[in-house]
Amino acid sequence: MSDPEKNKRLFGTNGIRGIPNEELTPEFCLLVGKAIGTFFNGKIVVGSDNRLSGDMIINAVNSGILSTGSETVMIGVLPTPGIQYYCKKHNLPGVMITASHNPPQFNGIKCIDSDGTELERSKEEKIEGIYYSNKYRTARWDSIGRSILDNSGFDLYLNGIMNMIDVKKIRERKFRVAVDTGNGAAYLTTPELLSRLGATAVTLNANPDGLFTSRESEPKPANLKYLIDLVKSGGFDFGIAHDGDADRAVFIDSSGNFIDGDKTLTLFVKHYIRKGERVVTPISSSDALEEVCSKAGANVVRTRVGAPIVSRTMIQEKARLGGEENGGIIYGDHQYCRDGAMSLGIVMDILSKEKKNLKELIESLPQFFITRKTIPARSDFSILSEMLKKEYPGWEVSTMDGIKLRNGNDWILARPSGTEPIIRLFTHSQKRERSEELSSKVEQLVMSV
Ligand code: MG
C-alpha cells in the first residue's frame, strides 16, 4: 500500500493496510468508500475492530459510500468473523475496518462479499479500476444514501456459533477457561460466549485498548507469557488467545503448553471428518493431517499460504474443514472464513464428549514438529531456490508457493514475503531436533550468500 499510484493496486492479501494519516488519510479513505459504494451499488454493512483510528476511517469510508447513493448498516465493533457472519446472514456485502494482528499504528480496509467471504480478487480489481479511473457514481442530492445503526450483530454471531455445537453437553462440563483477548475486538464476544456456555472465564486484557498496551496482537508464544503462566497456575481446562480482530484462536493446554494451529485443526479433523470428505490447508501445515485423513478415508487438499485462498478452495472442493498453522480455522458449516470464537466452540464441543483433557487429545495425534523462522532475504529468491536444490539433491521439489523440498516426512518450505525483504522458513520432521537442525542449516545457507 506504500505507493498505490505506482503499483496500481490497492488491496493486498488482506485488504488495504497502512498507517492512518500517512497512507490511510481521510481523503484516501473517502475515495475508497466512493469506489466501494459505486461497485456494490446497494446496501453495505460497515463494522470495525477497536483500533484508535477506527472512527476516523469509518466516517470517511461511510461518507464516500453514501455519496454514491449506496446505503450503509453500521454494526459497530465486532470480531471480523462476527461482521462476516452478519453479511452472510443478511446476504449483504460489507466493509471491515481492521488491521488484524498488525501493530497498533496500522489500520486497514477489507471488503466482504454477500456470502460472508473475503472479496475475491477479480472483484477487488473492479473496485481498484473505479478508484484509478475516478469513475465514481455521484448521487443527486435527493438520492444520497442513508446510514442506519444495527446492534443485533453481537447476538446473531454468538447464536450462530452456539447452533453449531452441543450446548447442553458443554454446559454440563462447567469448564474453567483462561482467555486473553489481547485488548482486541473479541473483548466482549469471547467472554460472553464462555458465559453462555456455562464456563467460568478468567479474562486477561479484555479491556478494549487500541494501543495494545499489554501485549502484541499476534497470538504467538512470546506474546502470551501471562496467559501461559495463568493457565500453568492450575485449575484451568485450557487457555485461549486471539489476535486483534479475533479471526484466529490459539490454545494453551492445562500444563501451559502452546498448541500450534495446525495441531488444533488436526484435532478438529480427527473428530469431525467423514469418509470421502476433503480438508483444505496450505502447504505450511504439518503432515499429521494426511495421516489422520487417510485413516478416516478422507483427503487433504494443499493450497498456497493465505486464508482467502483456503476458504475459496474449500467452497470449490465442498470441504467443511480447513485452516492454517497460525490458528486460523475455517468451519464451513458455520461460515467460510476464519473464526476464532467458532474454534473455541469446537474445542469445548470435542472436550465435552471426551474423557481425555486437551493435552492428552493433542498428544494422541500423529507427532510432527515444525520450526518457524523469519530470516533476512539477502539475495534474489531464485538464487536461494537453486542453492537449496543443490544442497538437497533427490528431494522432491514443489514451487506452488516459494519452494518446498521434501524427503519422506522431512521438508523445508521457504517463502519470500511479498511486502518485506524477508524469507519465511518452515522446517518439518518427526523429531524436533531434526526440524531445528534443518532450520539452522538453511539459515546458514542464506546468510552465506
Ligand atoms: Mg486476524
CA of 293 to the centre of ligand 1 (A): 27
Break the chain into its structural domains and give their ranges: 16-151, 156-363, 369-448
CA of 355 to the centre of ligand 1 (A): 32
- Segment holding 371, helix H or strand E: strand 369-376
CA of 249 to the centre of ligand 1 (A): 9
CA of 359 to the centre of ligand 1 (A): 25
How buried is residue 5: exposed, middle or buried, by Cβ count under 10 Å (0-12/13-18/19+)? exposed
Catalytic-role residue among 53, 63, 67, 100: 100
**CA 176 to CA 198: how far, in whole Å?**
9
CA of 28 to the centre of ligand 1 (A): 23
Q: Do the domains at 156-363 and 369-448 have one common CATH topology?
A: no
CATH code, 156-363: 3.40.120.10
**Helix crossing, 26-40 with 54-67: angle to 10°?**
40
- Give yes or no for a contact between 16 and 109, defined as CB atoms under 8 angstroms apart: yes
pTM metric for this prediction: 0.94
DSSP string computed for 145-190? --EEE--THHHHHHHHHHTTS-HHHHHHH--EEEEE-TTSTTTTHH
The per-residue pLDDT string of the chain (449 residues; one tens digit each, 9 = 90 and over) reads 444 454 578 998 778 999 999 999 999 999 999 999 999 999 999 999 999 999 999 999 999 999 999 999 999 999 999 999 999 999 999 999 999 999 999 999 999 999 999 999 999 999 999 999 999 999 999 999 999 999 999 999 999 999 999 999 999 999 999 999 999 999 999 999 999 999 999 999 999 999 999 999 999 999 999 999 999 998 999 999 999 999 999 999 999 999 999 999 999 999 999 999 999 999 999 999 999 999 999 999 999 998 989 999 999 999 999 999 999 999 999 999 999 999 999 999 999 999 999 999 999 999 999 999 999 988 889 999 999 999 999 999 999 999 999 999 999 999 998 777 899 999 999 999 999 999 999 999 888 87
Locate 272 and state its grid cell.
469431525
Does the annotation count 100 as an active-site position? yes
Residues within 5 A (CB) of ion ligand 1: 100, 243, 245, 247
At 312 the three-state DSSP class reads helix
16-151 under CATH 3.40.1190.20, yes or no: no
CA of 243 to the centre of ligand 1 (A): 6
**Which amino acid is present at 30?**
L
Rounded to the nearest 10°, the torsion over CA 234, 236, 242, 246 is -160
369-448 under CATH 3.30.310.50, yes or no: yes
